[in-house]
Structure formats: structure tokens, C-alpha cells
Chain A
Amino acid sequence: MSNETVIHSLPDTASTHDIEPDGHHGHHKESFITKYIFSQDHKMICKQFLITGMIWAIIGGLFSVLFRLQLGYPDQTFPFLEDFLGKWAKGGRIEPEFYYALVTMHGTILVFFVLTQGLSGTFANFLIPLQVGARDMASPFMNMLSYWFFFASSVVLLSSMFIETGPASGGWTSYPPLSALGDASLGSNTGMDLWLIGMALFVVSSLLGGLNYIATILNMRTKGMSMTRVPLTIWAIFFTAILGVLSFPVLLSGFILLLFDRHAGTSFYLSDIYIGSTFKALPNEGGSAILYQHLFWFLGHPEVYIIILPAMGLVSEVMSVNARKPIFGYMAMVGSLFAITVLAFLVWAHHMFVSGLNPFLGSVFVLLTLLIAVPSAIKVFNWLTTLWRGNLRFTPGMLFAIGFVSMFISGGLTGIFLGNSTIDLHLHDTYFVVAHFHIVMGVSAFFGMFAGIYHWFPKMFGRYLNNTMAYIHFWVTLAGAYLIFWPMHYEGLAGMPRRYYDFSPWVSFNNFQGLNRFISIVSIIVFAVQLLFVFNFFYSVFKGRKVKTQNPWGANTLEWTTPINPGHGNWVGEIPEVHRWAYDYGKEGREFVPQTEPVGANEQKH
């Protein structure tokens, strides 16, 4: 199905603007290096983030397939694994140490490298200048540095997978004492150091990026683009950047203390505990492992919103464009983003209900945690009311946006279970939590990202993605995600713990063996479909149908007023002035009214 049949009518206004095929903006000759590698053009940096993120997503996804093989078929061997992994899969069965390394790397990669920098880096870079009407980021140079720090941190993390003792394997949260003591686990040796260094570089990258996003959004908006006229994507990215700028430094502090505990004999997190592997007590005294948990989750919880807020912004925009209706409750959307940002800093201890936290303090965190459900619900209802009686166009981007809402509701509801400490005592560290956060964060954020990619791909590359492959991608992923994660709720309620290598010794979990196998099979199918998407992506970059109109989706926002393949500087000539908000869809008999159009004399003002 072509996009033209999806979008039944293309308004004429879109093609009346004259389009310059390659709108170079008074720039000098660019060499290959300055154009593709050390580029300072936000659009190229966006693509660098996107492609690096995609590579990471493939690696991280593949890891989950590997450990799902173990979980689904604990009693079988797969000789091909030994060919690939050598000593880590002797006899075709993944070694326990390597299982933990895989789980840890899967979490780290997906949470940080794909859904944080892969997602924010891509869309913040792409959309901020284009949607607020700026030629580039406030500091294109810092922007470039942000990518290269991300690249460096990627290299460090990747290299940790090839060392003798293997990569870090203490979980994506890297709790000490496990992560502090090389004696406690293989992965807590050099792998852990590389993990920490990689993450420190990552924090620098995220800081450089975040400062730029904030400064650009505040300072570089074009004339008329007041803060109440910017698209919701921009608000979402703005709050994301603030969350990152204020929470990552705390993680960095936590990591510095951990490095000292590992190498300088300090006792920040370590005390005189007894280590099973050496049959000795530690010489340390006075440290607190719980301190690390506080420092980690002070970032860790905002981090999950750093992942979901950009997806929310992308979904709001894509949904409004394709419902041909204004987004419902624009100010409520902004207000709820703000409320989420503030509350995100005040709920971290809900990850620590079983850590020995004072139950009274726990009850305070229960209250604050449940409060987050309010702005979350506001957003969900606003999306639903945006869809309500909309003139829906089911483009692939739109489908993923709707899928996002479905996933976010399903996963958000289980958050309310977990937010009650009394229930969480039972559910903590079970598959229920795994189900919760994969649905509400993992899959949702991916759906938001896919919505964004399908929607803005024509702007990024001047070509369309193939729709048939896109629809297969969507439906299989949607069905697959529910089939994988829904059953995990039952396993979790039955008490099946997460992060276990093999459940067969527990008779009580034996009845889940078939279910685990089923989940593993679906994971492999879903992973294969993601590869289909990757194929579609690269195929379409080179061979996709060319975009012929400047504004193929009939959208209001500024990026669609640039040439089809904008050069560095985005607009040929003056940057357009903005006269209205981004959501005048279906207004006074017109399907859409671009932001650049002055408000008519008799027009009702927004």
C-alpha cells in the first residue's frame, strides 16, 4: 500500500511552495570527513545517533535471544553457540557467568545506549532546530562532541565484551557488593571497570547533549514561536533534558565512589561482610550498600522517564497529525509532562521497598509514586480523546503511536500494583516487575521511536520506508510483545524470581516450563521482525520511493517548510515566522493550517 492511498487527499498547498532540491545554504565545500564523520550539522548527528543506536539495538536484542534460549530450553544444548561464543558456551550451553553477563549487557545497552541516547540523541537533534525554527543547535560543536563521547563510551562498553573475564555481570543496576568485588563474580573484574568508564563517558555525552537541547529550545526559537506554540515533541525533549542534566550527575558520583571501593580500599559501600567464594570476611568497615541504591535510583527512576518522555512527545505529534485533529488538551499535556518531571525525582525509593527501608518512609514513597499515575492518566486520556472521532490515517507511524498508548496503559496499570509497598514485598524481583517495565518502558519507548522513525524518515532521507514491511513489522511486534510479556505477569505472581539461570530445580515453577519455551519462541520471531525493519530502513535509505512533495503528511510544523533535502542551515533564505500553534488541524473547514500561516482576520484565535 502506498502512502498516497493511506493519505487519501493531498492538499495543493503542499506543492505550491517552490522546492529547491538541495538547499545548500552558503556553505563552503564539505569534505567527506566534515560532512559524514565530524559533522556539526544536527541532521547528520541525528543520523549518527540513530544508526549507532540501531546497531546497539541489534546487539542488545540478540543477547536477549541468547539468554531466552537458555530459559526456554534449559535442558538442551545448541552446538552452534559454542562456535560463536567459545568458552562461554561450552558444549553448546551458555555458562552461568555468561548468562548474567548477557542479561546485564542487554539491560545496559537497551536502557542507556538505545532508548536514552539512541532515542533522545536522534530526535532531539533532528527535531529541535527544525521544529523551533533554528539553523542548528545552539552549539553545533558541543553537539558533535556529545555524539563522539557517546561513540567512545560505546567502544569502551563493546570492548568489555571481548576480555578474558567477560563483561560486567551484576545486572544493569550494578549493585555493590557484587559489583565492587572481583572475587564475587567474574564480571566484576575488568569488565566492571570498563562498564563504569563507559558509563562515565556516557554521562558526559548526555550532559553535553542535554545542555544544548535546553539552550536551543529556550533561546533559538524563531519569531512568533512562543513556548505555548512549540509542538509537544519539543516540550517533551525539554523536560527530558532537564531530567538528564539533574539526575545523571548523581549517578556519576555514585560511580566514582564505587570505583574507589573497587580500587582504593575505601568502604563507601563495603562493610565487614563475609564472602562465600574466598571464605573470608572483608577488611572494610562502616560502608553502606544501600547508599549505592539510593544514588543509583535517584538517577534510575528519572532515567525511565528520560526514556519515555521523548516517546510521549513523538506520539503526541504523530497522533495529532494523523488524526487530523488538534491534540486534545495541549496545556494539560505540557502540565502533565512537568508534573511527571518533578515527581520523577521524588519516587526513587519505590525500587527499594525490600531493602530494609523504614516502612513509614516507604509509605511516603508509596504516596508519591501513586501520584505519578495522575499525570500519566491525564496523558493517556488526552491521547484517547485525540483519537476519538478523528479522521484517522493508519500510516505505520500512526499505528505505532496507537500501539504505544495501548502498551503504556497495560504497563502503567501494573505500576500501580508495584507502587504499593505491601504488594511489592511479594512481587519485587519477580517476573512481574520484568513484565511491568518491559511493557511500560521497553516496548512503549520502542513504539514511540518507531512512530517517530516512520513519520520523519521522509524528512531525514528524502525517501519513504516500504509500507508493506512496515505493517508486518507493526502487527507482529504488537502481538509478539503482548505474547512475550503478558504471561510473565502470571509467572511473577506465582513468585518466579527474575535473573535466575535455570528454574528446573524448583518443582513449584516446573509448570511454567512450557510457557517459558513459548515466550522464547515468540522472542525469536519478534527479533527476526526487527531485522526486517532494519532491512527496510537501509533498503529505503538508498532505494526507497522518493519524496516528491514538501509536506507529505500534511503537517503543520516547521520542519515541513524546509526543502525536501535540507542542507546545513535548514531553510533557504529567511527562517519562517510563526503565527499559530502547531495543532490547527480540521480548523474552520481546512484540513490543516501550517504554523507559518498568519491568523486570518475573521479566524478564531487559538
Chain B
Amino acid sequence: MATAVPVEQKWWSGGRSPFNVEYGKLMMWYFLMSDAFTFGAFLISYGTIRFSSNGWPDANHVFSSFPVLGSGYPLLFVSLMTFILIMSSVTMVLAVAAGHANDRAGVMKWMVWTIIGGLAFLSCQAWEWTHLYHEGAWWGSNPFTNFDGSKASTNFTNFFFTITGFHGFHVFSGVIINIVMLIMTYNGVFDRRGHYNMIEKAGLYWHFVDLVWVFVFTCFYLF
């Protein structure tokens, strides 16, 4: 890219965007940084409380159920959830790529898949939450014992529901955004504008939400 820019091209001297992006994308990047701090604060709080506690429940034991199959499958279900979410990121990339090619049908196809992925993830989360709820887990109540069998504080479930809930809320907003994008694409709004920048911005948000899940997943399920 750099070679395509004439030598005297001054990116920072005004009259144009220094990063060659429109303001919306710039705002999205800054918003994502901001949101990263929100999640960062949650996860760091989780870390400090967890490591100042005497013990912590075993994720392999807590998250071992699978719909229909029953229990005894540690982390299988959450692996499926993670796979779904990552696949929805892939379809999002394809939607953005189709947008670059101004291919309306392609954008619509891949946006539909991304939305389905998001909804599937949310359904899985709903199932997992209800399952845990029926086992007696909720904010303020924790039926699981520590690794060593001693009684655990409620902070395991407190943090689990708060942070995965906050993340689920982000996924939910992302699905709504994606649906709006789909409708706008369907109505030809972006064709009239001549570009699919909005899809790119929605994509940034979606990838961010996926990335956050990787951290949430690592903190709650792997450690």
C-alpha cells in the first residue's frame, strides 16, 4: 500500500482522514477499545477474587453435561458453543469480503449464516444457564464444591453469570445489529451508497465479541 501513496501525500495535514477511514470506523475502533476495558475490568476482578479465595470449583466437573446425552462429557458442550461462535466469525469475514465485491446476494447469504450462528450460540447459552439453574446455581448460590471438596464461596457462580451474561448481552446486540444490516442490504441501501462499509463495522464488532469469548472461555472453562 505504502508505495501507492505519492511521496508528497500528507496523511496528517488535514482535509482528509489520516487513516483513510471514515469516522464511523474510527469510532468503532475506539468503542471496542473502551469495551475491552469493560471486559478487562470484569476479568481482572474475577482473577483477583479467585486467587484470593481458598479454593475454586473444578470446571471439568461443573461443565460436563450435554443436551440429550446427559452428563460425563467435560467441556464438550462449551467446545461446541465456541466452535459455533468462531464459525460465525468466519461467515462474517465472508460477508465482509462479499461486501468489498459489492455482491449483494453474497452479503445476504453470509449475513444470514452469521445471524444463525449468533442465535445458535445464544440458544446454547440459554440451555447451559437453565441447566445450571436447575442444579441450584445462580447469582448468590453455588452448589458446587471446591476442587478439594470443601465448601466454595458463591463467587464462582456470581462471576460466571455476570460475565457470561454480559458477554451474551453483547452477542445479542450483535445479532440485532446484524439483522438490521441484513435488512438494509436487502433494501439495497448499501448498493445505493456504493459501498458496504456498514457491514465492515458490524464485522468489527462481531469479531470483537468473539475475541472476548476466547478470554471468557479461557478464564471460566480452562483454568
CB distance from A202 to the nearest CB of B (A): 15
Known pairs A225-B13, A268-B45 / 14 extra A-B pairs, C-beta < 8 Å: A210-B30, A219-B23, A226-B14, A229-B14, A250-B38, A256-B162, A257-B162, A265-B154, A266-B139, A267-B154, A267-B155, A268-B159, A286-B153, A295-B45
Could you tell me if B13 and A218 are in contact, using CB atoms closer than 8 angstroms? no
- A-B pairs with lowest CB-CB distance, top 5: A265-B140, A223-B15, A286-B153, A225-B14, A253-B41
**0/1 per residue, A188-219, Cβ < 8 Å to B?**
00000000000000000001001110111011
Could you tell me if B14 and A224 are in contact, using CB atoms closer than 8 angstroms? yes
Distance of A247 Cα from B40 Cα, bound (Å) = 11
The yes or no answer to B18 lying at the interface (CB within 8 A) is yes
Q: What A residues does B39 contact at CB under 8 A?
A: 253
Could you tell me if B155 and A268 are in contact, using CB atoms closer than 8 angstroms? yes
**0/1 per residue, A233-253, Cβ < 8 Å to B?**
000000000000111111011
A-B contact pairs, 17 of them (CB 8 A): A138-B27, A139-B23, A139-B27, A211-B27, A218-B26, A221-B15, A224-B13, A227-B12, A229-B14, A245-B30, A254-B41, A256-B166, A257-B42, A264-B139, A287-B49, A287-B155, A294-B48
CB distance from A556 to the nearest CB of B (A): 16
The yes or no answer to A410 lying at the interface (CB within 8 A) is no
The yes or no answer to B31 lying at the interface (CB within 8 A) is yes
Q: What B residues does A249 contact at CB under 8 A?
A: 34-35, 37-38, 41
Tell whether A222 pairs with B14 under 8 Å between CB atoms, given A253-B41, A291-B48.
yes
Distance of A109 Cα from B175 Cα, bound (Å) = 37
CB distance from A234 to the nearest CB of B (A): 12
Q: What A residues does B34 contact at CB under 8 A?
A: 207, 211, 245-246, 248-249
Q: Which residues of B contact A (CB under 8 A)?
A: 10, 12-15, 17-19, 21-24, 26-27, 30-31, 33-35, 37-42, 45, 48-49, 52-53, 139-141, 153-155, 158-159, 162, 166
CB distance from B216 to the nearest CB of A (A): 14
Q: What B residues does A210 contact at CB under 8 A?
A: 30
Q: What B residues does A139 contact at CB under 8 A?
A: 23-24, 27
Q: What A residues does B23 contact at CB under 8 A?
A: 138-139, 215-216, 219-220
Could you tell me if B154 and A250 are in contact, using CB atoms closer than 8 angstroms? no
Q: What B residues does A252 contact at CB under 8 A?
A: 38
Q: What B residues does A226 contact at CB under 8 A?
A: 10, 12-14
Distance of A186 Cα from B41 Cα, bound (Å) = 29
CB distance from A256 to the nearest CB of B (A): 7
Distance of A121 Cα from B115 Cα, bound (Å) = 37
Could you tell me if B31 and A207 are in contact, using CB atoms closer than 8 angstroms? yes
CB distance from B92 to the nearest CB of A (A): 22
Distance of A223 Cα from B12 Cα, bound (Å) = 10
Could you tell me if A266 and B13 are in contact, using CB atoms closer than 8 angstroms? no
Q: What A residues does B17 contact at CB under 8 A?
A: 218-219
Partner pick for A222 among B15, B26, B141, B158, CB 8 A cutoff: B15
Distance of A257 Cα from B155 Cα, bound (Å) = 11
Partner pick for A250 among B19, B41, B48, B158, CB 8 A cutoff: B41
Distance of A257 Cα from B48 Cα, bound (Å) = 14
Could you tell me if B26 and A267 are in contact, using CB atoms closer than 8 angstroms? no
Distance of A222 Cα from B16 Cα, bound (Å) = 8
Distance of A229 Cα from B12 Cα, bound (Å) = 10
Distance of A214 Cα from B10 Cα, bound (Å) = 20
CB distance from A508 to the nearest CB of B (A): 38
Could you tell me if A246 and B33 are in contact, using CB atoms closer than 8 angstroms? yes
**0/1 per residue, A425-440, Cβ < 8 Å to B?**
0000000000000000
Partner pick for B14 among A207, A285, A578, CB 8 A cutoff: A578
Tell whether A298 pairs with B30 under 8 Å between CB atoms, given A215-B23, A224-B13, A266-B139.
no
Distance of A229 Cα from B141 Cα, bound (Å) = 59
The yes or no answer to A288 lying at the interface (CB within 8 A) is yes
**0/1 per residue, A136-178, Cβ < 8 Å to B?**
0011001000000000000000000000000000000000000
CB distance from A357 to the nearest CB of B (A): 13
Query: In the complex, what residue of chain A is closest to B54 when comparing beta carbons?
Result: A286
Query: In the complex, what residue of chain B is closest to A216 when comparing beta carbons?
Result: B23
Q: Which residues of A contact B (CB under 8 A)?
A: 132-133, 138-139, 142, 207, 210-212, 214-216, 218-227, 229, 245-250, 252-254, 256-257, 260, 264-268, 284-288, 291, 294-295, 298, 577-578
Q: What B residues does A221 contact at CB under 8 A?
A: 14-15
Q: What A residues does B162 contact at CB under 8 A?
A: 256-257, 260, 266
CB distance from B26 to the nearest CB of A (A): 5
Partner pick for B38 among A142, A253, A266, CB 8 A cutoff: A253
CB distance from B218 to the nearest CB of A (A): 18
Distance of A207 Cα from B53 Cα, bound (Å) = 34
Q: What A residues does B52 contact at CB under 8 A?
A: 286, 288
Distance of A210 Cα from B35 Cα, bound (Å) = 13
Could you tell me if B30 and A267 are in contact, using CB atoms closer than 8 angstroms? no
Could you tell me if A295 and B153 are in contact, using CB atoms closer than 8 angstroms? no
Could you tell me if A211 and B49 are in contact, using CB atoms closer than 8 angstroms? no
Partner pick for B45 among A219, A248, A265, A291, CB 8 A cutoff: A291
Q: What A residues does B139 contact at CB under 8 A?
A: 260, 264-266
Could you tell me if B26 and A214 are in contact, using CB atoms closer than 8 angstroms? yes
Q: What A residues does B158 contact at CB under 8 A?
A: 260, 264, 266-268
Q: What B residues does A250 contact at CB under 8 A?
A: 37-38, 40-41
CB distance from B118 to the nearest CB of A (A): 23
Partner pick for B31 among A132, A211, A264, A267, CB 8 A cutoff: A211
Could you tell me if B12 and A257 are in contact, using CB atoms closer than 8 angstroms? no
Q: What A residues does B154 contact at CB under 8 A?
A: 265-267, 284-286
Q: What A residues does B33 contact at CB under 8 A?
A: 245-246
Distance of A268 Cα from B160 Cα, bound (Å) = 12
Query: In the complex, what residue of chain A is closest to B159 when comparing beta carbons?
Result: A268
Q: What B residues does A223 contact at CB under 8 A?
A: 13-15
Distance of A227 Cα from B18 Cα, bound (Å) = 10
Query: In the complex, what residue of chain B is closest to A264 when comparing beta carbons?
Result: B139
Q: What A residues does B13 contact at CB under 8 A?
A: 223-226
Q: What B residues does A142 contact at CB under 8 A?
A: 27
Most buried by A among B17, B53, B154: B154
Could you tell me if B18 and A218 are in contact, using CB atoms closer than 8 angstroms? yes
Distance of A10 Cα from B31 Cα, bound (Å) = 46
Q: What A residues does B15 contact at CB under 8 A?
A: 221-225, 577
Distance of A246 Cα from B31 Cα, bound (Å) = 9
CB distance from A146 to the nearest CB of B (A): 12
Distance of A253 Cα from B41 Cα, bound (Å) = 6
Could you tell me if B49 and A295 are in contact, using CB atoms closer than 8 angstroms? no
Distance of A286 Cα from B151 Cα, bound (Å) = 12
Q: What B residues does A260 contact at CB under 8 A?
A: 139, 158, 162
Q: What B residues does A298 contact at CB under 8 A?
A: 41
CB distance from A266 to the nearest CB of B (A): 4
Q: What A residues does B24 contact at CB under 8 A?
A: 139, 215
Q: What B residues does A246 contact at CB under 8 A?
A: 33-34, 37
Most buried by B among A132, A226, A254: A226
Q: What B residues does A216 contact at CB under 8 A?
A: 23
